[in-house]
Structure 1
Amino acid sequence: MEIETMAANCALLKARDAGNAYRKGRSRKWKEILHFPHINQCKELENSIERDYYSLCVNQPIGKQLFKLFCATEPKLQHLIDLLEEMAKYEVTTDDLKKTSRDKLINKFKTSQSSMVREMVHKEMQNGNLNMENFISSCHSALHEYLSGAPFSEYQNSMYFDRFLQWKMVERRPVTQDNFREYRILGKGGFGEVCACQSRASGKMYACKKLVKKRVKRQGGEKMVLKEKQILERVNSRFVVSLAYTYETKDSLCLVLTVMDGGDLGFHIYKMGNQKLDKNRVQFYAAEVLCGLDHLHKHNVVYRDLKPENILLDYEGHIRISDLGLAEILPENKLVKGRVGTAGYMAPEVVAGTSYGVSVDWWGLGCLIYEMTAKKPPFRNHKEQISKKDLEQRILEKVELYDKMFDEETQNICQKLLAKNPKERLGCRSGQGAEVIKSHQFFKNINFTLLEAGMMQPPFIPDPRAIYCDDVSDIDQFAAVKGVTLDEADEAFYAEFNTGSVTVPWQTEMIETECFKDLNVFGPHGTRSQDLDRSEQIQSTVSEFQSSSLKIQSPLSRSRLLGKIFRRAKDEPAEPILSKSSAGYEKL
């Protein structure tokens, strides 16, 4: 390993350790970065924000927390929130504890202090045979319907809603490269590099996917880039990488995504020794990929590029689907066309140029299970030199081979997912989808309820002191793009791309890193803090708040550089020393 790679790895490991520790990894000026505006500076947002209960109090993590704090001030409302949480716990209870949990939950409803709740139980039990799934669904809807009425109206006149407006103001401010520390390159994509980065405000680690503007323009990739961004904003699944921020630099468009420290499946299949993945890992990864595809399909998204290199592991051993650059949004009740994907993994209907829907993703799942088991793709040997034409001919005509590495269940699911005719493929018959695949014997050891709740223990946990990617020197650098000029016509595209923070991931970051807990402070004895006092006269405008709160000191300043050398605190994570060049920031 070269010195450059060793130094880059050490800096990344130190930053990762700091990002996983309470308060470490944050900039010394993190409170200034997340400084709240005075409530009187939130008037414009207050007048324009959509007053939808589910959006503000259920779907947005910080909004949900603040609504719960409001409900905690009224015992009756707190009781309803407790019941909602008890139902959520019941839904992820293991089968062996299900009956006991069921009886306890029903008893809580029967003895509830709320007459409305007791009536719900009585109504559901009139027939004498309580269907627990229907019961929970009915109670869930009824409780939220009640909370969305008078309680929601009262909440909007409380200091808790005012604090929510302050958080939204911070969330909506512009994002620049100065919001992040940048670390080693992790890999490369079609338009640029992917590197590790860290939020200065919270210390949370991310991956920054840089799309070089000139390369995007030369390849006509503007629509593809916007489509990937829009799809990432649309989905929210623990099995698909999340988009947290978008911003631009002079040279690049940047997507800040979930960092996956454990490497990609291709790395684990081919570069972690001669042993193949054991069946427990194959089942687990396939099950999580299946859940990710199911989530995409429910949002009318077909992925189209399933392969080991696009399946990433996090430091806990869970996987996420990444790189949605080739994904497509399916029109309502319609199919799409296009020879899109990676050679060797494209479904027969893609190779043949016919119309298709989500069937191509179930084919991809079959390819993935096959490759994890056999340590080679189904229609060629690993690193086999073969023409694209011959490879496509194999996909259309050849039947994949199975050896002793495939047990009966694994072979059966691969054969059903790799059926040449999409109408005969597992999961593709009318009304089937992911559920019929989940019920296959191959997944008999997977509890999908627990898996989807993130409560199943992965069979393999990556070494936290290891870097699961190629050495820095082994990752080819892009050549400079020549003959492409950026002009004013490109600015509209950049403006559409550069939208800053993405609501749910950003709010989740604030909660998980405890920035929310540390900053969400009110006055003594349940009173308003000074920044929530509406009687105060505030001179500065919203724009002044934004401009003053966004001044994050450049890492290039001489005083900061000297500070790094001589005065860095023991718990401050290592930051790369950066120099400004025409290509952005690079290590000195």
Structure 2
Amino acid sequence: MLEFPKDNPEGSGEETVSEAVNSSQSSMSSDSLTSFSRLSFDALELLPQPRPLPESLMLKPHRSSESSWQTIRSAVLKRSGSEGLGGVDGGSSLSLRDFCLVRQIGSGDIGKVYLCRLRNEDVEESRCYYAMKVVDREVLALKKKVERAATEKKILNMLDHPFLPSLYAQFEASHFSCVVMEYCSGGDLHSLRHKQPRKRFSLSAARFYAAEVLVALEYLHMLGIIYRDLKPENVLVRSDGHIMLTDFDLSLCSDAIPAVQSQSLSSTPDLPPSSPPVPRPPSTHFSCLPTQLFRSKKIQSFSAAKRLFVAEPVTARSCSFVGTHEYVAPEVASGRSHGNAVDWWALGIFIYEMVYGCTPFAGVSNEATLRNIVKKPLKFPTVSTISSRETQARDLISRLLDKDPENRFGAKRGAADIKTHPFFNGLNFALIRSTTPPVIPLQKTTTASSRHFGGPTSSFDFF
């Protein structure tokens, strides 16, 4: 049996995470069924019932066609057929003995990450590789971070999105808790940025990565999850060049109430008067139903208006002091309560770093950085002439880096408003998954590429 190396226990503050889970039940009275229906149901009960599938075998639409997911499903079905369903976690029948650990590829405050594969795959060309995060529960208890690990595991079970990690398996091994996730061979955006000319991305590349991160944050906020740790080290690059947002141990679980709102409730962001006007392409509205079906002119005018789907956890509040220093919002740096607006501040810092190769408020020490975040005004590198696209980028960054969380861009309606900014003109968010990424990672051998997952110090750091 493999023995995982233990982290040295260190004292740390305990974060406060407020969670709310809503559940509903529906029932049907038996009196409403006809006698024929009762006979039909009684007959069905006499038939042999299929065995329920483990939770790990439930289809996830964005991964169901991939070889890595199919390989896991086949392994679970094979073991379920020979040993029966169920496992340590009550859902997955896979365990540590089913995996072969290749090497350690990351380490952090509450866990280590290993590159692994299924043990029964003998042909190297057909092997699928995964990332296994291993957490020592005894160390977690000493550091008083059991709740953080439980929050991350809860969130991973909720996710099903092309820009977020897929949970393939979870199990316990001795005093270790293990989760098997997707392995990203392209490294992270921090490492990728340092390989670019002048250690910065082009405006088009920065816009692409910002758009995919925005879509991922939108999905999280729809689930009531405030991420709270956005930074390039936490944005991994898949083998196809698209991104995957990772690490949710600092996230806050809350509630988000979906609503459809008219875009006229808030004006579309305009550029500063000095900026050259950027024409927006006319929007075409497609409807399966002709407007003649609506007899009321009031209904016709409402249906013709552009509407936005909004699901933002605007009521969530926390006083936890979490995040990465250069990315925390002013309300966090000053010790005040914070909510969903911290993610949109972090998005502004993220775009700034992608475009200019540094963060805007970095100081000589962590304390100086926090003071700059609270008091220092936002400044951009002085350039004699800038393009209209860079003017748009600066306007978006300025709106996101509003020190007042109430006035911060996205604080009220989240991604629904941010998507309408001129910086994203011409970008189809619905089809961005099919867009060719600016950088396609080179296909390397597993031994060579494994060291790029998260770098030598993976992105689990916090303060």
TM-score normalised by length of structure 2:
0.63
Higher relative contact order (CA 8 A, sep 6+): 1
- Whole-angstrom distance in 1 between the partners of 2:243 and 2:354: 14
- Whole-angstrom distance in 2 between the partners of 1:60 and 1:457: 18
1:330–1:336 CA contact under 8 A, matched in 2? no
Counterpart position of 2:373: 395
Q: C-alpha deviations, 1:525-584, integer Å up to 9, x for none? A: xxxxxxxxxxxxxxxxxxxxxxxxxxxxxxxxxxxxxxxxxxxxxxxxxxxxxxxxxxxx
2:105–2:451 CA contact under 8 A, matched in 1? yes
Counterpart position of 1:465: 444
**2:331 equivalent to 1:349:** yes
List, as ranges, runs of 4+ consecutive aligned residues in structure 1 with deviation greater than 4 Å.
42-46, 55-63, 165-173, 466-472
- Whole-angstrom distance in 1 between the partners of 2:452 and 2:221: 36
Where do 1:543-562 residues align within 5 Å?
none
Q: Which is helix-richer, 1 or 2?
A: 1
Counterpart position of 1:177: 96
Q: CA deviation at 1:43?
A: 6.7
Counterpart position of 1:336: 318
Within the candidate set 393, 416, 426, 1:410 is matched to 393
2:111–2:136 CA contact under 8 A, matched in 1? yes
Counterpart position of 1:196: 115
- Whole-angstrom distance in 1 between the partners of 2:64 and 2:438: 33
- Whole-angstrom distance in 2 between the partners of 1:401 and 1:295: 31
Change (3 A) 1:435 1:201: farther
- Paired AA for residue 409 in structure 2: L
Counterpart position of 1:492: none
- Paired AA for residue 434 in structure 2: M
CA-based RMSD of the aligned residues comes to 3.5
Q: CA deviation at 1:201?
A: 5.7
1:267–1:468 CA contact under 8 A, matched in 2? no
Within the candidate set 354, 359, 379, 2:361 is matched to 379
Within the candidate set 172, 175, 178, 1:254 is matched to 178
Counterpart position of 2:29: none
Change (3 A) 1:446 1:170: farther
Q: CA deviation at 1:45?
A: 6.5
Gapped regions of structure 1 (runs ≥ 5): 1-41, 64-162, 478-588
TM-score normalised by length of structure 1:
0.50
- Whole-angstrom distance in 2 between the partners of 1:223 and 1:175: 24
Q: C-alpha deviations, 1:8-65, integer Å up to 9, x for none? A: xxxxxxxxxxxxxxxxxxxxxxxxxxxxxxxxxx97874x789xxxx989979889xx
Where do 1:38-187 residues align within 5 Å?
46=51, 169=85, 172-187=91-106
- Whole-angstrom distance in 1 between the partners of 2:397 and 2:183: 30
Change (3 A) 1:471 1:347: closer
Within the candidate set 395, 401, 408, 1:425 is matched to 408
- Whole-angstrom distance in 2 between the partners of 1:236 and 1:176: 23
Change (3 A) 1:240 1:367: same
Q: C-alpha deviations, 1:44-89, integer Å up to 9, x for none? A: 874x789xxxx989979889xxxxxxxxxxxxxxxxxxxxxxxxxx
Q: C-alpha deviations, 1:342-371, integer Å up to 9, x for none? A: 111111112223332211101111010001
Where do 1:425-504 residues align within 5 Å?
425-429=408-412, 432-451=413-432, 454-465=433-444, 467=448, 475=456
Q: C-alpha deviations, 1:185-210, integer Å up to 9, x for none? A: 22212123212112346732211111
SS in 1 for 2:353: helix
SS in 2 for 1:344: helix
Within the candidate set 128, 151, 154, 1:230 is matched to 154
> Which structure is larger by alpha-carbon Rg, 1 or 2?
1
Q: CA deviation at 1:274?
A: 3.7
SS in 1 for 2:322: coil
- Whole-angstrom distance in 1 between the partners of 2:184 and 2:358: 24
Count of residue pairs brought into register by the alignment: 323
Paired-residue identity, %: 30
Q: C-alpha deviations, 1:440-497, integer Å up to 9, x for none? A: 111124211111xx2111111011127567589x9479xxxxxxxxxxxxxxxxxxxx
Change (3 A) 1:331 1:61: closer
Counterpart position of 1:359: 341
Change (3 A) 1:245 1:424: same
